[in-house]
Amino acid sequence: MRDPYTQVTLDNGLRVVIEQMPDVRSAAAGFLVDTGARDETAPQAGVSHFLEHMMFKGTSKRHWRDITKDFDNLGSTYNAYTSEDRTIYYGWVRQTDLDAQIEILADMMTSTLPEEEFNMERNVVLEEIAMGKDQIEHVAFDFLQEKVFEGHPLAWPILGYESTVQALTRDQMWAYFQKRYAPDNMMLVVAGNIDPDEVIKSIHRHCGHWKPSGTTSSRVPPKMHSGTDVLPLDRFRQQIVAITVPAAPAGGVEAEIATAVATILGGENSRFFWNIVQTGISPRAGAFHYEYSDGGMILLYGSCQPDNCEKLHDAMRQEARRMSDEGVEEHEVQRVRNRRRTSLAIEAEVPYHRLTQLMDDMQYRAQPRTVETMLAEVDQITVDSVRDYLNKFPLSVAGHLVSVGPRHWPSSD
């Protein structure tokens, strides 16, 4: 079988990964910048996300209105997002417009961070932070991260804090931008019905003149804290109860199994759904696997009336303990495998989804995987492999308990 991937590294350090998808009529391209919230210092919390906004605000060639118009003139589906580990910019167009799409994205990577737009965009970010404070789930997750990863950059929210965003200057952002947005700290991924040789020519033309910065990673693996933390907030009427336990990091079969464990426990048609939601203990309860390059956690959470905190907490603990002690059943594993297979089959047909899958593979595995390889890993999710995983990462450990809402629970009263 012919290798569908082309991988090259430009002289300036920019890594390029291309996947040919001959049966589609479109192509997606995206820059992965190896920088995110965990690469910030505490006083800079939020600079990565704020910078993502500023990348759309003008270059030496384009006013911010031109960036928007040029994307729209291509009929592009485009966006950007920031996480703890990375920042991504992408566009998805007809195959004939791929060169033009790469040119716009490449131009954005050389933003001038216009001074006249800086304060205005700061207000947009501050509004996002304010909106988050009106959502109890958002508040609870930020509080959880702050306590679970205390003393580590994963502790602060991706949006940052009102105080840090207010204090940030354009010159401070520019210094961060110059260091982190360099070709030797970036990757360009392309997926679709394209000619790799033509794409490489395009990339050399638009990105070959960039200068490297010599940036090296200084990330420290996170340590998860255990304990109990309470955030009393009278403005909400419901309570969030959340428990985090260590889990497998991103990359490898263990991460796939960890996601399956979380899905069986707290996904659709899950144990939480039948034994917590359907019994009236909580209107919303679930479990999720959060993964980073060097760590991971499974989050168990639910919302409830304040008087039901004990009942919700005990129910989640009971389901987690039962899974750790008794394992899972074949029909549960089969259901999760089938859902994952269907998801992969659908995503394999869409260049944008393949783009994000390739970015995950390159960042967390250092090599691309075919859909067939991904499906083979799904097949390794079995009753026995889940049991082995739970022996290594038990759900029954104390972990970290967080409670957010109008009731000061748990408390000594």
206 Cβ neighbours under 8 A, 6+ residues apart: 102, 103, 106, 107
**pLDDT tens digits, residue range 341-373?**
999 999 989 999 999 999 999 999 999 999 999
Edge-first strand order for the sheet with 295-304 is 227-232, 400-405, 239-246, 295-304, 284-292
Active site residue 40: no
Average pLDDT value for residue range 195-213: 97
Cα torsion angle, 75, 76, 77, 80, sign? negative
305 vs 160, 239, 241, 281, 405, CA distance in Å? Answer: 30, 6, 11, 9, 9
Contact 386, 378 (CB under 8 A): no
Q: Same fold for the domain at 5-207 and the one at 227-405?
A: yes
Average pLDDT value for residue range 150-158: 96
As a whole number of angstroms, the distance between CA 53 and CA 113 comes to 10
| pLDDT class of 412 with cuts at 50, 70, 90 | low
Domain residue limits, the chain: 5-207, 227-405
**pLDDT tens digits, residue range 323-337?**
999 999 999 999 999
Q: For the whole model, what pTM was predicted?
A: 0.95
Q: Which CATH architecture has domain 227-405?
A: 2-Layer Sandwich (3.30)
pLDDT, averaged across the chain: 96
DSSP letter for 55, please: T
* Confidence (pLDDT) at 216: 80
Q: For 5-207, which CATH superfamily applies?
A: Metalloenzyme, LuxS/M16 peptidase-like (3.30.830.10)
Q: What single letter denotes the amino acid at residue 251?
A: G
Edge-first strand order for the sheet with 5-9 is 5-9, 15-20, 186-192, 26-33, 87-94, 77-82
156 Cβ neighbours under 8 A, 6+ residues apart: 37, 40, 42, 45, 46, 145, 146
* Confidence (pLDDT) at 1: 55
* Confidence (pLDDT) at 215: 82
**pLDDT tens digits, residue range 224-242?**
999 999 999 999 999 999 9
Of the residues 19, 40, 52, 319, which is catalytic? Answer: 52
Average pLDDT value for residue range 243-255: 96
**pLDDT tens digits, residue range 23-58?**
999 999 999 999 999 999 999 999 999 999 999 999
pLDDT of residue 218 exceeding 90, the answer is: no
Q: For residue 191, which of 15, 340, 16 has the smallest C-alpha distance? A: 16
44 Cβ neighbours under 8 A, 6+ residues apart: 160, 164, 168, 172, 176
